[in-house]
Structure 1
């Protein structure tokens, strides 16, 4: 049987950095509702996700076992493991947590986010404890994305965005390589989160941008050799597109058993 889980020595664990093509880039309803949920253990947070991510319980166990003890940055073990779980990749790609979660974040039907509320509460609480990073970060995708990014326009990325601190990582053969049609994004971020100490792949220097980030397209450049560069600058919208995590966060409960059928979605309007 082929190995399903991509560990540190496996080259096929970099799809997160190219998970851009599914972004609608346009305005959707804000991401909200998750912040009202209790903070629970990772095991309870993934319970409602079994129907969407079939192997999620086992992968959550792996993430928990991979946690440092104690975790860095004063995170709890459940909080750190929730970030590790996001960074993990396995086959098929379409069943990875990051892939399914980002697809839900990008859909116009916000009811599809309801089963994710407990996990979102946990992982966004964890990320809120990491200091915001203001610097230029990079991500990329094979193909020419210029038609979706016009200079001067504003775009929104609704999914979590995995970035790296150097372009060299993207040009590695395990990522996009140095030949062929490619689009690199250079992003001046204001709210990046350095998750290196909470990532499955620590060598990738991963900077994670939370969902609901708004950007101004600064420039679209032809770098020759099939490489295009799109420069983005993060801007603050007048109203939050991602509801902040509640400041009054209760302690993580390990005794709560969540029944997925008890999670009721709001009525469509």
Structure 2
């Protein structure tokens, strides 16, 4: 059996590799890829034979394999053979340029499907699958992070939809680590995946605390935190795979104590003092499974907590360095909301609070008003689907009038109504993101919204989708945008809009908008020439979503020929 001690030792790769496998865009699909069964049915070869078919693609792979094997030492910790451990380290080996790395070449081949090129990798993939399958999975309900630079993938992952990633996906356990400059960073357009999973494989002795998700990773999208500082966060949760053809993840039925016993049993076989240190660190990490989150996240979402349990976690954990508190779908009662209010009064670390999908109501909102007025740390507040009406809007207005640190406010799927818009929107608001979708707002509420947009100088993203504002409401809003120079992302999906002329007129006069979402409206072929002219002559808009309107296939084909803009239709 084998494991690695400082696997790369004195062997240095190029400095500019920059761990690019962490940012390989996942290949998501909803259909099974039965060709993966060919991998599992192929004979298991020694590693020297598995690399021969792609030596012409990775010219120094044989030399690299030799150097890796020279630095492997033997013990029983992971029950891996020398070849199996070598296969893993070949996969995580970064080359410059990254497009010549094995991880990149494999994922690109998977995207292209079952071709002769795919067969090139079958022997090696069989060995790699076998190797990774021997590793213990991470603890159930573990949170890992993956990300993609320079693009926003939010439109490709719809809430509650189920997808499968067919490529290998490399993740990190720490959100702080993935936001370091040489990983995802803190600036530029980025997409962050926050992943709850049970089948991820911890890479042995990875200094980066690296986790690999296998091809066939099946998941459901739980929700999204829209673009904030150019970062979109997509929350996903692993679910059992729908096909036996794909590589089966380890069952989540193994208890944490059973997992710990397996590791303890393995440790007894270790003779190397340094290797024992590695094993001890691994056991220490596994013991953290009793927590529900990382050091910076307290995630109780979906849990039915007793009052004592709730008090303990909020009073004890929030005195630490917790910055994100997720209480979504926790059936909050008035008493629990009072506890939250008390905690917020004294807390100085929390920057994100998620109370979505709870029956908070107007009374609960009033309880939170005073502490949130005084809070100077909170950046994101999520009150999505929390039974709020126009009365709650008055309390929210008080919060926004005094709390200028809050940047992102989610109020979608409530009943704020037109009157709520009158109460909520004032000149003191310094939000950057506001979601008021599905709040029974019509053209009369748009009057207050337009007045707000005319004077506001901070809001960058506005979601008013799912409200029956119709053409008149859109025209009112656009009149308020004529002198607005900060809003860049406007979402008006399913708003019963028919007249594209109004949109055209706005961009003819002035607009700094870069993204528009008009999905699910009633735009037809009547304005075909106007649409073509708009797409060809537009100078500012970067993306527009016109999907699920009443545009014919023929017109869609014509519109797709324009290259000046990213068009979803």
State the TM-score, normalizing by the size of structure 1: 0.80
Residue 29 of structure 1: CA displacement?
2.3
Residue 241 of structure 1: CA displacement?
4.4
Say if 1:80 and 1:181 are closer, same or farther in 2 by CA, change over 3 A: same
Measure the CA separation in 1 of the matches of 2:58 and 2:75. Answer: 28
Aligned residue for 1:196? 204
Residue 108 of structure 1: CA displacement?
2.7
Q: Which has the higher strand share?
A: 1
Measure the CA separation in 2 of the matches of 1:110 and 1:153. Answer: 29
**Pair 1:139 & 2:152 matched:** no
Whether the 8 Å contact between 1:29 and 1:110 is mirrored in structure 2 is no
Higher relative contact order (CA 8 A, sep 6+): 1
**Runs of 4+ deviating beyond 6 Å:** none
Aligned residue for 1:208? 212
Runs of at least 5 residues in structure 2 that lack an aligned partner in the other structure: 1-10, 250-569
The within-5 A match list for 1:1-269 is: 6=13, 10=15, 12-20=17-25, 23-30=27-34, 31-70=36-75, 72-133=77-138, 134=140, 135-142=142-149, 143-197=151-205, 202-222=206-226, 224-243=228-247
Measure the CA separation in 1 of the matches of 2:68 and 2:215. Answer: 22
Residue 5 of structure 1: CA displacement?
5.9
Moved more, 39-48 or 75-84: 39-48
Measure the CA separation in 2 of the matches of 1:103 and 1:74. Answer: 30
Q: Give SS of 2:207's match.
A: helix
Measure the CA separation in 1 of the matches of 2:55 and 2:230. Answer: 41
Say if 1:145 and 1:101 are closer, same or farther in 2 by CA, change over 3 A: same
Aligned residue for 1:262? none
Residue deviations 1:35-66, cap 9 Å, x none? 22222221111111123333322222233234
Whether the 8 Å contact between 2:16 and 2:96 is mirrored in structure 1 is no
Measure the CA separation in 1 of the matches of 2:245 and 2:238. Answer: 13
Greater Rg over alpha carbons, structure: 2
Whether the 8 Å contact between 1:48 and 1:116 is mirrored in structure 2 is yes
Measure the CA separation in 1 of the matches of 2:12 and 2:156. Answer: 33
Q: Give SS of 1:204's match.
A: coil
Say if 1:11 and 1:173 are closer, same or farther in 2 by CA, change over 3 A: farther
Residue 233 of structure 1: CA displacement?
0.8
Whether the 8 Å contact between 1:196 and 1:207 is mirrored in structure 2 is no
Measure the CA separation in 2 of the matches of 1:109 and 1:74. Answer: 31
Residue 6 of structure 1: CA displacement?
2.8
Measure the CA separation in 1 of the matches of 2:71 and 2:220. Answer: 38
Measure the CA separation in 2 of the matches of 1:17 and 1:33. Answer: 27
Q: Which has the higher helix share?
A: 2
Say if 1:228 and 1:77 are closer, same or farther in 2 by CA, change over 3 A: same
